Structure 1
Amino acid sequence: MVLLALIAIVAGIVTNIIAQQTRSQNPLYQCIESDYLSYDVYLTISTNIDGKPVEIPDNIGILEDCLSPVHTHDNSGLVHVVYDRPYEFRLGHFLWYWGFNIQQYDATVYVNGIEQDKYMDIVLRNNMSIVIDFKSKPRGII
């Protein structure tokens, strides 16, 4: 019984170490050291909820001790994507950094005026203009 408990503890520790190592290699979990790196993209995102404009908050992806690769500096809707090499950051990543609860909404997304399918997978590219129209789901359908 003690041996089984010891094996479970060791397995848990090893799993945790592997998860941390994997996460540290994932650009989504990395803090960047500079806002000026070789991969540097700017785009605009605007959002509406139930037909009403919703401001993109400033400092999305910016914490006191961490600057995320996808972030905002102000509430203008300008999104900055910066990394030390090209990486396909996606609209879903931006919404994740924002902490926006997409499960409460249906969405129609336009890139440069053209409606898009699979909006979470849209790769963020320089000079894009993204408009997201969120529509609240009826209560109980989340």
Structure 2
Amino acid sequence: MTTVSERFAKDNYAGAVLAVLRMRYRCRSCGATFASREALRAHIRSKHPVSYYAPRIGYVSALVLVALVGGYLVLAREPPAQAVGAPISGIECWSMEQVAYHVHAKLEVYVRGERRTVPANIGIIPNRCMYWLHTHDATGWIHVEAPREIRPTLGQFFDIWGQPLSRERVLDVDLVSSGLGMRVYVDGKPYDGDPREIELIDMR
């Protein structure tokens, strides 16, 4: 698959370019991607055993912690996750990370041939909540983590980011007044529709 940077080298396009690559299961430790949850789990067990077993050991330990309060045996456990932040474009912000539905999409933004950074911690309010669309680092990987299957869009992610996205303006660039165009690629293929409507789902 031709990368966005290779396309720039070939045609020297000076406008704005959005590239979205949709993946389903991605290893947080090394970044490898897989077609199924089972394949990802097998990879983690084989290549990152500490990451696979440590959370389970910690969880079991947490469940067996007990306290005697007022003559009653109380099981120590974390409170259930709940929506605590104000929704943005229909995406909620919950007190705990969700894993029931977990997919990834990678976003690359170029303006005049220079790559723009997609910052870390978009959609994460420290010590409060995490939106179902968020980033953990500045690599461009968008995490879709929700308590159920959803079909979020790139426009919703930009709303959470607090940045504009349209064919006329992206980030701090007014494409109309600058005389620049926009090219959009989804899974390596040109996309001519509204960039806000690109679904951040697994590759089909």
> Shorter chain as normaliser: what TM range?
0.5 to 0.7
Aligned to 2:134: 71
Q: Does the CA-based 8 Å contact 2:121-2:134 persist in structure 1?
A: yes
The alignment yields a C-alpha RMSD, in angstroms, of 2.1
1:75 Cα deviation after fit: 0.1
Question: Helix, strand or coil for the counterpart of 1:31?
Answer: strand
Match of 1:54 in 2: 116
Alpha-carbon offset, residue 27 of structure 1: 4.0
Shift of 1:32: 2.0
Residue by residue over 1:110-131, the C-alpha shift from the partner in whole angstroms, topping out at 9 and shown as x without a partner, is 0111111221111101369xxx
Measured in 1, the distance between the counterparts of 2:182 and 2:144 equals 23
**Residues of 2 paired with 1:51 and 1:81: CA distance?**
28
Query: Residue by residue, what CA displacement relative to the aligned partner does 1:32-71 show, whole Å, maximum 9, x if unpaired?
Result: 2332421111121111112211111001111122200100
- 1:106-125 aligned within 5 A: 106-116=181-191, 117-125=193-201
Q: In the aligned structure 2, how far is the partner of 1:78 from the partner of 1:127?
A: 14
SS at match of 2:159: helix
**Equivalent residue number for residue 126 of structure 1:** 202
Residue of structure 2 aligned with 1:89, choices 148, 152, 155:
152
Q: Distance in 1 between matches of 2:137 and 2:202?
A: 18
Q: Where do 5+ consecutive residues of structure 1 fail to align?
A: 1-22, 129-142
8 Å contact from structure 2 (residues 98, 132) kept in 1:
no
Within 5 A, what are the aligned runs for 1:18-37? 27-28=90-91, 30-37=92-99
**TM-score after normalising by structure 1:** 0.65
Unpaired segments ≥5 residues, structure 2:
1-85, 176-180
- Which structure has the larger Rg over C-alpha atoms? 2
2:93 maps to a residue whose letter is C
More helix by share: 1
Aligned residues with identical type, % of pairs: 28
Aligned residues: 104
The change in CA–CA distance for 1:126 and 1:34 in structure 2 (over 3 A counts) is farther
TM-score normalized by the length of structure 2: 0.46
The 1:124–1:111 alpha-carbon spacing in structure 2 relative to 1, beyond 3 Å, is same
Task: Name the counterpart of 1:11.
Answer: none
